Amino acid sequence: MARFKARNSKQTPCEQCPLRALEHFREFAPDELAFVSNFKTGELAVDAGTTILAEGSHSAHLFTVLSGWGFRYKMLDDGRRQILNYMMPGDLIGLQGSLIGEMQHSIEALSPVILCVFERDKLGTLFRNYPDLAYDLTWIAAQEERILDENLLSIGRRSALERAAYLLAFLYQRARAVHLFKGARVSIPITQQHVADTLGLSIVHTNKTLKKLGERKLIRWADRGCDILDDKGLMKISGWEGHPERKRPFI
Amino acid sequence: MARFKARNSKQTPCEQCPLRALEHFREFAPDELAFVSNFKTGELAVDAGTTILAEGSHSAHLFTVLSGWGFRYKMLDDGRRQILNYMMPGDLIGLQGSLIGEMQHSIEALSPVILCVFERDKLGTLFRNYPDLAYDLTWIAAQEERILDENLLSIGRRSALERAAYLLAFLYQRARAVHLFKGARVSIPITQQHVADTLGLSIVHTNKTLKKLGERKLIRWADRGCDILDDKGLMKISGWEGHPERKRPFI
DNA sequence: CGGGCCCTTGAATTCTCTCAAACAATGTGG
DNA sequence: CCACATTGTTTGAGAGAATTCAAGGGCCCG
């Protein structure tokens, strides 16, 4: 499974967390920050393509993405794969597995990823002593549920073109919120196979669908990734209104 | 919107809750039971077809299903509907809305339903004083997430026949766990339109798919509902292994 | 230079949808 | 009790969408 690179623990102290500086995330009370800083036991850096958590495993850890992209997926016995959601900086990984016991899905890195590592055993302390953080965890789970609801609506009821437009607008909005698009280049590091496995389409049909979006100047398919040229146009095609901008909890 | 029938409050005291007696649900500590009993402000009985919560609304309440069936869904502007999940006794309703603010989906009763009503405002007290209940809430949210993951896999990657088989096996297993099939009759109270809107198929194709399952003696479509004749057979077709039987939290 | 990965394209096939019509069961008002 | 409307199920046929199969091209890297 995963080949983890060794990394000095705590290269980025929570007190200086670059994500925490973003206005997108809610602020911590001092005691919360102290707890989380203690909750964090180290960092992990993985290469693109690494499996971070595998379906069926029992991990003793929880992670927060510090930098990079990843995705969550499930597979059928014969190899058909469904991508469930994408992970980007600030996202919590492995909560489902920590609560229910066994991982019911796998997580893979799309780019080089740095993860903050937390001990699952300390979740009890968190619930007992930091009710606001416990509330945040529940909020995060409910938010993930909401995203899955929208995904399900999309795959179940939208046409191929609408689905593709929705997915790209969605990824664009999420990535922008965590300032992933600092430079002029606005690129999502996925292959068309990923898009196909997210939309529930074949790779051939996905290619033809993306080509249509390209012809309309909404996106440009770049080298191993997708540039968003007109997110408003994508939202219009998909009929998706976007999520309201609001502060988000973050652990 | 909803036409709620008046009902004397607290017809079923939590101490005598018939669901709590099932071995499927975890036991409460005495102080937890006392809190939940106080958390519950009354009961609500609604007819089949009633909208219990509507997308876009801000409800001051949370509910637990005491009896009956319902479903959660989202709609596109032009009326296309996607059913996200089904609700049965013991299921918590409206947590997403309570945490995030606005309901992002609607909930409708499939049969006459009785709901326990809770005050959203008291959620803070729950998190501050009852960490085990807070943990349960997070567990419940994670469990819903897991079900949605499986649904997404199904709609995205399974064939029509596999999808239908999965859905019916899934509903059967869930319903059996809460003893909904006491009598000889094992019937799920849905129309083929509901099945279609869950599977992301048209009603015509759904009908033809269900007919195939009927020819194989796996189900029998009864008057406004579905009888499961061979749940093992359905699981085999879908390739779904089922959820492990285990105690579940319940509020 | 060869191999691997990803993107692209065309063609035939299969799946699913829409349209259209009919039937069964139920309930309502006269 | 019957005529009629309503809701849900069933069936056939043609159109449209998406899949599989097949092949070729570009690019990077060892």
pLDDT tens digit sequence for A55-92: 999 999 999 999 999 999 999 999 999 999 999 999 99
Residues of B contacting chain A (CB within 8 angstroms): 72, 74, 76-77, 80-82, 84, 95-96, 99-100, 104-105, 124, 127-128, 131-132, 134-135, 137-139, 141-146, 148-153, 155-158, 197-200, 239
Report the C-alpha gap between A68 and A171 in whole angstroms: 13
Distance A103 CA to D30 C1' (A): 37
From residue A8, give the alpha-carbon distance in Å to each of A15, A17, A93, A214, B211: 17, 16, 21, 44, 61
Residue A101 has pLDDT above 70, yes or no: yes
Q: Which residues contact B183 (CB under 8 A, 6 or more apart)?
A: none
In this predicted structure, what is the pLDDT of residue A181? 73
Structural element, H or E, at residue B149: helix B131-157
Residue A151: strand, helix, or coil: helix
The residue behind tokens 């794969």 is A81
From B201, which residue of chain A is nearest by alpha-carbon distance? Answer: A156
Distance A147 CA to C9 C1' (A): 34
Are the CB atoms for B107 and B70 separated by under 8 Å?
yes
pLDDT tens digits along B145-177: 999 999 999 999 999 999 999 999 999 999 999
| DSSP state for residue B50 in the 8-state scheme | -
Strands lying side by side in the sheet with A113-119: A40-46, A113-119, A61-67, A92-93
pTM for the full predicted model: 0.95
Q: Select the residue from A106, A122, A157, A195 to test the B interface by mutation, using most B Cβ atoms within 10 A.
A: A157
| Inter-chain touch B104–A149, beta carbons under 8 Å | yes
- HSE (side-chain half, CA atoms, 13 Å) at B150: 20
| DSSP state for residue B26 in the 8-state scheme | P
Are the CB atoms for B91 and B43 separated by under 8 Å?
no
Report the C-alpha gap between B221 and A81 in whole angstroms: 31
Six-digit token pair at B57?
């609304």
Q: Which residues contact B18 (CB under 8 A, 6 or more apart)?
A: B12
pLDDT tens digits along B185-200: 668 999 999 999 999 9
Which positions of strand C lie within 7 Å of protein CB atoms? 5-11, 15-20, 25-26
Distance A207 CA to C18 C1' (A): 26
Confidence of residue B184 (pLDDT cuts 50, 70, 90): low
Report the C-alpha gap between A206 and A199 in whole angstroms: 8
For the CA atoms of chain B, what is the radius of gyration?
A: 18
Are the CB atoms for B198 and B83 separated by under 8 Å?
yes
Residue B27: strand, helix, or coil: coil
Q: Which nucleotide is nearest to B221 (CA to C1')?
A: D9
Residue A103 has pLDDT above 60, yes or no: yes
Please, is A13 exposed, middle or buried when counting C-beta atoms within 10 Å of its C-beta (0-12, 13-18, 19+)? exposed
Mean of per-residue pLDDT scores for chain B: 93
Domains along chain B with CATH numbers = 4-131 (2.60.120.10), 150-238 (1.10.10.10)
Judging contacts by C-beta atoms under 8 Å, the chain A residues touching residue B135 are 99, 123-124, 127, 134
| Inter-chain touch B141–A146, beta carbons under 8 Å | no
Picking from B81, B143, B158, the nearest residue to A100 by CB comes out as B143
Report the C-alpha gap between B31 and B34 in whole angstroms: 5
Which stretches of A4-50 are assigned E, i.e. beta strand?
Answer: 40-46
Which positions of strand D lie within 7 Å of protein CB atoms? 8-13, 17-22, 27-28
Judging contacts by C-beta atoms under 8 Å, the chain A residues touching residue B240 are none
Q: State the nearest Cα–Cα gap between A183 and chain B, in angstroms.
A: 32
Task: For nucleic chain D, give residues with Cβ below 7 angstroms from it.
Answer: A 159-160, 200-202, 204-206, 208, 223; B 191-193, 203-204, 207-208, 210-211, 221, 224
In this predicted structure, what is the pLDDT of residue B2? 43
Report the C-alpha gap between A173 and A88 in whole angstroms: 12
Q: State the nearest Cα–Cα gap between A11 and chain B, in angstroms.
A: 30
Provide the residue type at A200 as one letter: G
pLDDT tens digits along B48-92: 999 999 999 999 999 999 999 999 999 999 999 999 999 999 999
Residue A47: strand, helix, or coil: coil
Provide the residue type at B159 as one letter: S
Report the C-alpha gap between B95 and B87 in whole angstroms: 13
Distance A205 CA to D21 C1' (A): 14
pLDDT tens digits along B134-143: 999 999 999 9
Report the C-alpha gap between A195 and A188 in whole angstroms: 11
Residue B1 has pLDDT above 50, yes or no: no
Q: State the nearest Cα–Cα gap between B7 and chain A, in angstroms.
A: 30
From A198, which residue of chain B is nearest by alpha-carbon distance? Answer: B156
